[in-house]
C-alpha cells in the first residue's frame, strides 16, 4: 500500500472532508427547503426527536470506538498486521453485539413515545413505523462501522468521507424528487435507509481491500494483558459517552416536552445551520486527528506542545469567526431559506453561538486528550455535566422556554469540562501549568469581543432585499473577523507555524503536479 507523509494524509483528509461537505451541505439546505415546503412543520419535529432518542440509544457503544482507534495508532505506524487484525476482530464482535442490543432496547422503547409526544402530531404516517425505520438506520451501521474506523485510524479518513458524501449527495437528490412528486415522508425515509445500507457495504469492502489481514479467519486473539488495558480505556470513555449523550441529545426531547413538536421543528432550522457549521469545521479537526495521534507517538514533548498551540489558535480563528456569523447572519439566512415565520428572537441565535463557540474552542483540547490516551482524567466529572444539563434544562425550560433549555447546556459545561479538560491536558499531557491556557483563553475572548463590536457597528444598519442582505452580511462579517484576527495574531509563533505549514502544503501540491 502506498505510504504518505502526515502532511499529505492531513491534506487529503481535509480536502475530501471539507470539499465534500460543502457540496453535500448545499444540497442538504436545498433538500431542507423542499422538505419545509412539501411537509408540515411537525415532520421537522419528528426528525429532530427521533435523532435525539436514537443518539441516546447509541450509549450502548460505550466508548469502544475511541479506545480501539487509539489502540490502532501504534500497530498501524509499525505495520503490525497481526495486532491490527486482532484489534479489529475485537471491535467487530463488540459492535455486532451492540447493534443487536440497540435494536432490542429501541423496540422496547416504542410504547413510551406517547409519553414524550404529548400532543398528536400533524402527520399522516404511523409514528411507530417511522420510528422503526429510523431505528433500523441506526442499528445497521453498527454491523459495519468498525471497518471504517480502521481506515480513519490509518489516516485514510478521506476514503470514508468521500464514499459518504457520494452516497449522501445521490440520496439527497432522490429524496428531493420524491418529496416534490409525492409529498410522502415515508418514501423520504426509505431512500435514506437504502443510502445507509449502500454506504456501509461500500466502506466495509474498501477496508478489506486495503487491509486484507482483517478478513483472515485465523486471527490471533489479543493477549490477556492487552485486553485488560483496552477495557480500561473503554471503561473510561464510557463516561464521556454517557455525558455527551446527556448534554447533546436531550435538548430536542425537552423542547418537545415543554414547547411541543412545532417549536422543535422551528428551532431545528437554526440548529441545522449551527450543526452544519460545526460539522464543516469539525471536518478539519477530524481530518487531523489520526495524524496528530501519529505525531504524538513519534515526536518530543516540546514538538507536541508547539503543535497544540498552533491548533488552538486555528481553533479560535475558525470558531470565533463562525460564532459571530451565527449571531449576525443566521436569522437572515433562515428568513431567506425557510420564511419569516421560522425566524426566532435574537437571543436564540446568541445562545446557540455561545454554545457553539465554547464547545468549538475545546476541539484542540479534546483532540490531544484522546490522541494522548488521557481517557481516565475527568471521566466522573463528565457524568456530572450530563446530570446538571438535565436539571438546569428542566428548571430553566419551565421559566424561560427554548432559551432556558439552550442556556442550561452552557451552564452545565461551564461548571465542569470547560475548565477541567484543559487542566487535564496541560498537567497530565504536557506537564505544564493550566494557567497558560487560561491566559490564552481570556486573550481570545477579548479579541472576540472587539471583533463582535466591529461587526455590530457595521452590520446592524444594513437593510436590503433579503438575498442581497444575506450575501453582504456574510462577506462583511468574514472580512471584519479575518482582518482583526490577522492584525492581532500575525506576529505570534502560532501564526508563523501556520505560514510554515502552508508553505509545506504548497510544496507538496506543486511537487505532485
**pLDDT (tens digit, 9 = 90+) per residue, 484-510?**
999 999 999 888 877 777 776 666 555
| Cα distance between residue 205 and residue 209, in whole Å | 6
For residue 152, name the pLDDT band (cuts at 50, 70, 90). confident
Cα dihedral 121, 126, 128, 130, rounded to 10, equals -90
Asked whether the CA dihedral 428, 430, 435, 439 is positive or negative, the reply is negative
- CA-to-CA dists, residue 304 to 15, 313, 378, 494, angstroms: 24, 15, 22, 13
Residue 36 pLDDT greater than 50, yes or no: yes
391 vs 16, more confident: 391
Q: With a cut of 60, say whether residue 6 has pLDDT above it.
A: no
Residue 186: the pLDDT is 85
Name residues whose C-beta falls within 8 Å of residue 373's C-beta, 6 or more positions apart in sequence.
70, 233
Residue 389's pLDDT is what? 84
The stretch 201-216 carries a mean pLDDT of 85
Q: What is the DSSP string of 8-51?
A: HHHHHHHHHHHHHHHHHHHHHHHHHHHHHHHS-HHHHHHHHHHH
pTM: 0.66
pLDDT of residue 11: 63
pLDDT digits (tens, 9 = 90+) for 411-422: 988 998 889 989
Q: Residue 188: pLDDT above 90?
A: no
C-alpha cell at 28: 442538504
Segment 23-47 mean pLDDT: 74
User: Which position has the higher pLDDT, 72 or 354?
Assistant: 354
Distances (CA, A) of 101 to 49, 57, 135, 442: 21, 9, 12, 45
**pLDDT higher at 263 or 349:** 349
Collect all residues with Cβ–Cβ distance below 8 Å to 280 and sequence separation of at least 6: 18, 21, 22, 25
Report whether pLDDT(58) > 70. no
pLDDT per residue over 263-302, tens digit each? 777 777 788 788 778 877 776 776 666 567 666 666 667 7
Q: What local confidence, expressed as pLDDT, does residue 474 receive?
A: 93
Which of the four pLDDT bands, split at 50, 70 and 90, describes residue 61? very low
For residue 407, pLDDT over 50 is answered with yes
Q: Is the four-CA dihedral 233, 234, 236, 240 of positive or negative sign?
A: positive
pLDDT value of position 305: 84
> What's the confidence (pLDDT) of residue 1?
46
Q: How confident is the model at residue 325 (pLDDT cuts 50, 70, 90)?
A: very high
Q: What is the pLDDT of residues 88-138, one digit of tens each?
A: 887 787 778 878 888 888 888 888 777 767 666 677 777 788 888 888 888
d(C-alpha 420, C-alpha 486), whole Å: 30
Residue 213 burial (CB count, 10 A): 15
The residues near 23 (Cβ < 8 Å, ≥ 6 apart) are: 165, 169
- Burial bucket for residue 313 (CB in 10 Å: 0-12, 13-18, 19+): buried
Which value, in Å, is the radius of gyration of the alpha carbons in the chain?
23
Whether 54 shows a pLDDT value over 70: the answer reads: no
Average pLDDT over the chain, rounded to whole? Answer: 79
Rounded to 10 degrees, what is the CA torsion of 359, 360, 362, 367? 130
Grid cell in block for residue 8? 499529505
The whole-angstrom distance between residue 116's C-alpha and the CA centroid of its chain comes to 26
Tell me how far apart the alpha carbons of residues 214 and 144 are, in angstroms, rounded to a whole number.
Answer: 13
The highest-confidence range among 23-37, 92-106, 234-248, 445-459, by mean pLDDT, is: 445-459
Q: What's residue 390's pLDDT?
A: 84
Which comes out higher in pLDDT, residue 197 or 27?
A: 197
Q: Is the Cβ–Cβ distance between 163 and 199 less than 8 Å?
A: yes
CA-closest candidate to residue 371, choices 6, 1, 5: 6
**Those residues with Cβ within 8 angstroms of residue 286's Cβ, 6 or more apart along the chain or in another chain:** 13, 17, 157
What angle in degrees, to the nearest 10, is found between the helix axes of 6-38 and 301-338? 20
What pLDDT is stored for residue 162 in this prediction? 81
The pLDDT of residue 245 is 59
pLDDT at 240: 62
**C-alpha cell of 275?**
450543526
**HEC sequence for 160-221:** HHHHHHHHHHHHHHHHHHHHHHHCCHHHHHHHHHHHHHHHHHHHHHHHHHHCHHHHCCCCCC
Per-residue pLDDT, averaged over 166-189, amounts to 86
pLDDT band at 176 (very low <50, low <70, confident <90, very high): confident
Alpha-carbon distance 256 to 414, whole Å? 25
The DSSP symbol for 124 reads S
In this prediction, what percent of the chain has a pLDDT beyond 70?
77
**Cβ pair 371, 292 in contact under 8 A:** yes
Distance CA(381)–CA(377), nearest Å, equals 9
Look at 373-377, 390-394, 507-511 and tell me which has the smallest mean pLDDT: 507-511
Which band of pLDDT confidence, cut at 50, 70 and 90, is reported for residue 447?
Answer: very high
Distances from the Cα of 450 to the Cα of 24, 316, 453, angstroms:
34, 14, 5
Residues 6+ apart with CB under 8 A from 331: 343, 344, 346, 349
Amino acid at each position: 500500500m502506498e505510504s504518505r507523509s502526515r502532511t499529505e494524509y492531513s491534506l487529503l483528509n481535509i480536502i475530501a472532508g471539507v470539499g465534500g461537505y460543502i457540496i453535500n451541505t448545499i444540497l442538504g439546505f436545498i433538500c431542507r427547503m423542499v422538505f419545509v415546503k412539501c411537509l408540515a412543520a411537525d415532520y421537522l419535529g419528528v426528525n429532530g426527536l427521533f435523532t435525539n432518542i436514537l443518539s441516546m440509544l447509541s450509549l450502548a457503544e460505550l466508548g469502544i470506538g475511541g479506545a480501539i482507534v487509539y489502540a490502532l495508532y501504534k500497530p498501524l505506524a509499525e505495520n503490525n498486521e497481526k495486532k491490527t487484525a486482532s484489534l479489529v476482530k475485537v471491535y467487530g464482535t463488540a459492535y455486532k453485539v451492540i447493534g443487536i442490543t440497540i435494536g432490542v432496547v429501541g423496540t422496547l422503547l416504542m410504547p413510551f413515545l406517547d409519553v414524550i409526544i404529548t400532543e398528536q402530531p400533524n402527520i399522516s404516517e404511523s409514528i411507530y413505523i417511522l420510528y422503526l425505520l429510523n431505528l433500523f438506520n441506526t442499528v445497521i451501521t453498527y454491523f459495519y462501522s468498525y471497518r471504517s474506523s480502521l481506515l480513519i485510524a490509518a489516516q485514510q479518513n478521506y476514503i470514508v468521507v468521500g464514499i459518504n458524501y457520494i452516497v449522501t449527495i445521490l440520496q439527497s437528490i432522490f429524496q428531493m424528487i420524491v418529496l416534490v412528486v409525492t409529498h410522502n415522508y415515508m418514501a423520504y425515509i426509505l431512500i435514506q435507509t437504502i443510502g445507509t445500507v449502500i454506504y456501509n457495504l461500500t466502506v466495509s469492502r474498501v477496508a478489506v481491500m486495503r487491509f486484507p489481514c482483517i478478513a483472515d479467519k485465523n486471527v490471533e486473539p489479543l493477549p490477556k494483558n492487552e485486553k485488560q488495558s483496552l477495557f480500561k480505556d473503554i471503561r473510561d470513555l464510557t463516561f464521556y459517552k454517557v455525558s455527551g449523550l446527556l448534554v447533546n441529545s436531550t435538548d430536542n426531547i425537552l423542547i418537545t416536552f415543554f414547547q411541543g413538536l412545532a417549536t422543535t421543528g422551528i428551532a431545528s432550522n437554526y440548529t441545522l445551520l449551527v450543526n452544519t457549521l460545526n460539522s464543516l469545521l469539525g471536518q478539519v479537526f477530524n481530518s487531523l486527528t489520526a495524524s496528530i495521534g501519529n505525531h504524538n507517538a513519534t515526536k518530543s514533548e516540546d514538538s507536541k506542545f508547539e503543535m497544540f498551540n498552533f491548533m488552538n489558535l486555528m481553533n479560535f480563528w475558525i470558531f470565533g469567526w463562525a460564532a459571530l456569523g451565527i449571531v449576525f447572519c443566521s436569522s437572515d439566512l433562515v428568513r431567506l431559506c425557510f420564511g419569516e415565520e421560522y425566524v426566532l428572537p435574537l437571543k436564540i441565535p446568541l445562545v446557540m453561538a455561545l454554545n457553539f463557540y465554547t464547545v468549538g474552542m475545546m476541539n484542540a483540547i479534546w483532540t490531544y486528550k484522546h490522541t494522548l490516551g488521557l481517557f481516565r482524567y475527568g471521566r466522573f466529572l463528565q457524568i456530572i455535566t450530563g446530570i446538571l444539563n438535565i436539571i438546569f434544562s428542566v428548571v430553566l425550560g419551565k421559566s424561560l422556554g427554548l432559551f432556558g433549555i439552550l442556556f442550561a447546556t452552557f451552564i452545565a459545561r461551564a461548571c465542569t469540562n470547560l475548565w477541567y479538560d484543559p487542566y487535564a491536558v496541560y498537567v497530565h499531557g504536557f506537564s505544564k501549568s493550566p494557567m497558560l491556557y487560561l491566559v490564552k483563553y481570556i486573550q481570545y475572548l477579548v479579541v472576540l469581543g472587539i471583533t463582535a463590536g466591529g461587526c455590530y457597528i457595521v452590520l446592524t444598519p444594513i437593510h436590503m432585499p433579503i438575498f442581497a442582505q444575506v450575501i453582504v452580511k456574510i462577506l462583511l462579517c468574514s472580512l471584519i473577523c479575518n482582518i482583526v484576527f490577522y492584525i492581532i495574531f500575525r506576529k505570534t509563533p502560532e501564526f508563523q507555524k501556520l505560514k510554515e505549514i502552508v508553505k509545506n502544503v504548497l510544496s507538496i501540491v506543486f511537487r505532485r503536479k
